[in-house]
């Protein structure tokens, strides 16, 4: 028995298979097309493979026992990510519309699904000439340069501190590049992805080869692929893995639906979903391997420095010859001195040098990219070259992801007729990028790094999960799973296998719902805090954890609550307006009938 909700007028809102065949033969479709299949795949790869694969995925591996995180990630990639990916590919290719147009065609009450959009931007880093000598002496060079020189960070998200103009210029340059690359839609961005999607793989390969030659790199890679099985029984490990799947695929952003709508009608979207899933999963592991080779080198450098400082402390305290204690006999010498002179040892500042602790020190997001990785690069021979390569790679990752985000905004704006129809695509893209630049000036303030963290934590979590859940419900129970199966058979030549059927109907929606509920419960139980760079803090030079101001709850609701409620709110608004319109039309008709009767009765009297 199939459960399908009533959906009157669906056949009138979508093209039939015969119409699609005719349009394909006549090339009468008004939508642009990809030059070739490679361009389409590279664009999807560039959109999916972003900064989250380079700095978020390795951080989650560190936080959840290295290789233990890979197991739930790969499992959920198959049963959660790949089915939803195929769903977006297939529905976009079938209905030939963008993210808003697709859901409005399925049912006008679902227009809110496509209206949930958000954007993230990446800006370069330019130094400013500021001097805070005591602060510099108490922190590391890289930390100081990033937080004080580059960002000139304030000590609170409430203290904006005004705009950091070098960052504003970098932000302007970034959005200008995006605008130029997207100015004519896929006709220009499709060419740019040959560079932005391929170059990061080349740079990662160079870094992997270089990283493997560094001392301690294998320690980092071994830590990555050695699972801590105790992490597998923790719900947070599975929750983070499920959320990371959404980040890795770029699901529920709207870009993939728009991209697939430019494909030929009979493109094999099932094969595309499998290929992209494999590329995404392998790229995450590939990028993590590169990152951990560098993290292993950095941890080894810190470990060797710790041992050397302890040796120097022991030599000075006991007036020993310079070569009497070396790294090879350090443990033996320390144990001997501790047993013979425990009082002296207790009075010394002997640091605990733990390699595993250094490897498992999790640093997320910008901290991993601009501090940990950068600190390791500065210690490599020829560091300027590696720095240029690394930041070009980050720029390409950010650009290729933004191509999909801009496409996921411009196409819905056209579908909703927000701008006059006579406006060319170039004008729409220019206005969209200009507005995005103005909005993202929020991140160019002295408190901008805290806003980036806030957006990263809340704008891309609950809204994406709820949108993904609504997408599956809409296709399976409103559009109709039988109709969807026939569409896929029409497009690729065969009906989807039992794996896809079970995933769409039960497995994937259930997994997304569980992740969403547990995420909301865990967030409700935690105090909302964020990390700040505060030289007056007792924790300095470490970042201090402080609670968010009370008003930040309203911002979080705007970021996460409003987009998540877009679907039910729009459906309610449409229900009210349609009901009112029907009532108004009924009243007008009744009044007209009343007037006709009055006129008719007067004529009879005369």
CB 121 within 8 A of CB 134: no
276, containing H or E segment: helix 269-318
Residue count of the chain? 606
Give SS3 for 551.
Answer: coil
Q: How far is CA 387 from the centre of its chain?
A: 24
248 is in an annotated binding site: yes
Measure Cα distances from 105 to 17, 201, 541, 573 in Å. 15, 38, 55, 18
Q: Packing angle between helix 17-26 and helix 481-492, nearest 10 degrees?
A: 30
Q: DSSP state, 352?
A: P
For 409-429, b/e burial (b = at least 16 CB within 10 A) is bbbbbbbeeeeeeeeebeebb
Measure Cα distances from 369 to 56, 179, 387, 503, 529 in Å. 10, 25, 11, 36, 22
CB 440 within 8 A of CB 171: yes
DSSP string covering 167-220, please?
A: HHHHHHHHHHHHHHHHTTTHHHHHHHHHHHTTHHHHHHHHHHHHHHTSTTHHHH
Taking the alpha carbons of 464, 467, 472, 473 in that order, is the dihedral positive or negative?
positive
CB 400 within 8 A of CB 49: yes
Give SS3 for 529.
Answer: strand
Could you report how far apart the first and last alpha carbons of the chain are, in Å?
A: 65
Alpha helices in 526-565 (DSSP H): 552-556, 562-564
46 is in an annotated binding site: yes
Helix, strand, coil share of the chain (percent; to 5): 70, 0, 25
Measure Cα distances from 66 to 45, 242, 356 in Å. 25, 16, 11
Measure Cα distances from 75 to 71, 262, 427, 462 in Å. 6, 30, 43, 21
Measure Cα distances from 559 to 59, 457, 463, 523, 550 in Å. 24, 10, 8, 15, 15
Q: Binding site residues for Na(+), as ranges?
A: 46, 53, 248, 397
Annotated binding site: 46, 53, 248, 397
């Amino acid at each position: 028995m199939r459960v399908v909700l009533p959906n009157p007028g669906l056949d009138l809102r979508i093209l039939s298979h015969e119409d699609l065949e005719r349009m394909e033969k006549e090339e009468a479709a008004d939508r642009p097309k990809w030059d070739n299949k490679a361009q389409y795949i590279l664009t999807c790869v560039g959109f999916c493979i972003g900064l989250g694969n380079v700095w978020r995925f390795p951080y989650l591996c560190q936080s959840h026992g290295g290789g233990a995180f890979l197991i739930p990630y790969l499992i959920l990639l198959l049963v959660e990510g790949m089915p939803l990916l195929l769903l977006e590919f297939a529905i976009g290719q079938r209905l030939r519309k963008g993210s808003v147009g697709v859901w409005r065609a399925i049912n006008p009450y679902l227009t809110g699904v496509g209206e949930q959009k958000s954007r993230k931007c990446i800006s370069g880093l330019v130094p400013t000439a500021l001097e805070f000598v005591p602060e510099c002496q108490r922190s590391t060079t890289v930390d100081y340069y990033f937080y004080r020189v580059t960002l000139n960070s304030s000590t609170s998200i409430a203290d904006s501190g005004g705009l950091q103009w070098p960052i504003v210029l970098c932000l302007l340059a970034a959005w200008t590049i995006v605008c130029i690359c997207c100015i004519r839609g896929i006709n220009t961005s499709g060419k740019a992805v040959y560079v932005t999607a391929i170059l990061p793989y080349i740079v990662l390969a160079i870094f992997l080869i270089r990283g493997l030659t560094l001392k301690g790199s294998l320690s980092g890679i071994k830590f990555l692929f050695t699972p801590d099985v105790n992490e597998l029984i923790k719900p947070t490990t599975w929750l983070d893995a499920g959320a990371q799947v959404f980040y890795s695929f770029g699901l529920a952003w709207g870009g993939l639906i728009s991209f697939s709508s430019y494909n030929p009608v009979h493109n094999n979207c099932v094969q595309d979903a499998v290929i992209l899933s494999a590329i995404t999963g392998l790229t995450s592991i590939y990028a993590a391997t590169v990152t951990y080779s560098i993290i292993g080198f950095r941890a080894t450098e810190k470990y060797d420095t710790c041992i050397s400082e302890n040796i120097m402390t022991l030599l000075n305290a006991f007036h020993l010859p310079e070569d009497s204690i070396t790294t090879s006999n350090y443990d033996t010498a320390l144990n001997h001195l501790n047993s013979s002179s425990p009082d002296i040892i207790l009075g010394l500042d002997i640091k605990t040098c733990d390699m595993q602790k250094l490897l498992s020190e999790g640093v997320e997001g910008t901290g991993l990219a601009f501090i940990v990785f950068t600190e390791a690069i500065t210690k490599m021979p020829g560091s300027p070259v590696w720095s240029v390569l690394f930041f070009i790679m980050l720029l390409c990752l950010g650009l290729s992801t933004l191509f999909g985000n801009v496409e996921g905004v411009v196409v819905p704006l056209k579908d909703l007729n927000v701008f006059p129809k006579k406006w060319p695509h170039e004008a729409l893209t220019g206005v969209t990028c200009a507005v995005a630049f103005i909005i993202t000036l929020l991140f160019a303030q002295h408190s901008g790094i805290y806003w980036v963290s806030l957006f990263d934590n809340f704008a891309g979590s609950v809204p994406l999960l709820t949108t993904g859940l609504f997408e599956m419900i809409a296709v399976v129970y409103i559009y109709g799973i039988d109709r969807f199966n026939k569409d896929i058979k029409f497009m690729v030549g065969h009906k989807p296998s039992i794996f896809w059927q079970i995933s769409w109907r039960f497995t994937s929606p259930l997994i997304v719902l569980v992740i969403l509920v547990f995420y909301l419960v865990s967030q409700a139980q935690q105090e909302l805090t964020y990390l700040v760079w505060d030289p007056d803090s007792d924790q300095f030079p470490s970042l201090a954890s402080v609670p968010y101001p009370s008003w930040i709850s309203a911002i979080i609701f705007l970021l996460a609550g409003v987009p998540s409620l877009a679907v039910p709110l729009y459906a309610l608004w449409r229900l009210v307006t349609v009901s009112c319109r029907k009532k108004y039309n009924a009243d007008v008709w009744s009044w007209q009938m009343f007037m006709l009767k009055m006129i008719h009765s007067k004529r009879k009297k005369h």
